[in-house]
Amino acid sequence: MPCLVMKFGGTSVADLARIRNVAQTVKRAHDDGADIAVIVSAMSGVTNQLIDYVSDIAPLADLREYDTIVSSGEQVTSGLLAIALQNLGVPARSWLGWQIPVVTDDAHGSARIQRIDVDEIRRRFEEERQVAVLAGFQGLEKGRQRITTLGRGGSDTSAVALASALEAERCDIYTDVEGVYTSDPRIVPRARKLDRITYEEMLEMASQGAKVLQTRSVEMAMKHRVRVQVLSSFEDKPGTLVVDEDEIVEQALVSGVTYSRDEAKITLQSVPDRPGVAAAIFGPLADAAVNVDMIVQNISAENGHTDMTFTVGNADLQRTISVLEKNREQLAYRELKADPNVVKVSVIGVGMRSHAGVAQRMFQALAEKGINIQVISTSEIKVSVLIAAEYAELALRSLHTAYGLDSA
């Protein structure tokens, strides 16, 4: 009998009416003959409220207690959905992360799944076709019996990991959008839904600002070859399949244009141009858990010196400045300039591997709109540029048209 994992996000279970709607969706899949495991998020807004409670009590709270508190939202949702399914005549039981268990490492607040024990779920599939309703986002710290959480958006990772453990036919991620779009339809009215997208493209889109799937969930799906479908809880329509490249017959040159406002630019002017200078800058930032993204090194106006420009997340800006100022004597830079008013815009597509001129088309389209490029970075299937935040919407629409992505 086929196995299907279904995941419902916070907007899909925002209130009791929507939980009842989810129960109907699960019942239809169950009636069609599949063994069903469901992953649920907390009801919309609940996790943010729980985080606020923790912050109000102690801004730097013990992360083990933080996990105990913020994981409680999923417990409520899983129990409510199990009851709703039972009321429809569907055998169902709720499970928490420690009951399965979903075993993780000890990185509280951003734990990584090590294994999931699915023997009991399988046994109940076989004996009574019982639907397993699991609280997403949470697990159990190996050896210490403490609740852990997987980071924001972690229910996506819970779902993909469970689908892998159960060897499910597919993992369906239900959300408030109909699938993966070529760009943000709120900004680009002519953006269109993709029928299929590769793991690599989805991973780049998730990491470059698309909010449809958590990055770690896509990494796991790609590693374990879990077929993922992104679809709407509110529309009875096919979604977007995230699959291996071999399942897509003809690759588009560019599949999507994304943006990220969570960027801040740092420039260190007149840094001594000597071996080891990059390590001296980025080593302390790594020790402070600051993730550095785009990096460019320029020749300074002063002989023997260089200017170093890089980006960090907005949330890490003040910590980055603090680390660099603390190490100013060792780094010997003349001036530090910070600019939080920037946006990273990226074009993504596996078709770039076999086509030349992709970057040139991007640069030309931006130049025609008078948009200055501050930093450039590339990978095999992505070109990203950093531009002033005020040009974000114009850049997205222009690039979407330039690569022929507008809907007919």
Judgement on whether residues 334 and 378 belong to the same structural domain of the protein: no
| Same-domain status, 24 and 114 | yes
Examine residue 260 and state whether it is found in any structural domain, yes or no.
no
Kindly report the CATH number assigned to the domain that includes residue 358: 3.30.2130.10
Q: Which residue has the higher pLDDT, 144 or 15?
A: 15
Q: Is 386 helix (H, G, I), strand (E, B) or coil?
A: strand
Could you read off the pLDDT of 316-351 as tens digits, one per residue?
A: 899 899 999 998 888 888 999 999 999 999 999 888
Instruction: Give the mean model confidence (pLDDT) for residues 151-163.
Output: 93
In a domain, 256, yes or no: no
Same domain, 316 and 393: no
Mean pLDDT for 27-39 is: 96
Residues 150 and 114 placed together within one structural domain of the fold:
yes
Residue 128: the pLDDT is 94
Residue with the two structure tokens 């409680």: 72
> What average pLDDT is seen over the chain?
91
Mean pLDDT of 245-252: 72
Angle (CA) 354-357-362 rounded to 5° is: 120
SS3 for 200-214, per residue? HHHHHHHHCCCCCCC
Q: Using a CB cutoff of 8 Å and minimum separation of 24, what contacts does 325-332 make?
A: 326/284, 327/280, 327/284, 330/280, 331/268, 331/271, 331/277, 331/280, 331/281, 332/271, 332/272
Of 338, 367, 384, the one marking the end of a domain is: 338
Q: CATH number for the domain including 69?
A: 3.40.1160.10
| Cβ partners under 8 Å of residue 183, min gap 6 | 191, 256, 257, 258, 396, 400, 405
First to last CA, the chain: 41
The confidence band for 250, taking pLDDT boundaries of 50, 70 and 90, is: low
How many folded domains does the chain comprise? 3
**Partners of 148 in the β-ladder:** 139
The answer, yes or no, to whether residue 146 has pLDDT greater than 90, is: yes
Q: What is the pLDDT of residues 363-376, one digit of tens each?
A: 999 999 999 999 99
User: Cα separation of 6 and 115, whole Å?
Assistant: 19
Residue percentage of the chain with pLDDT more than 70: 97
Q: Which domain holds residue 370?
A: 342-402
Query: Smallest Cα–Cα separation from 355: which of 384, 380, 377?
Result: 380
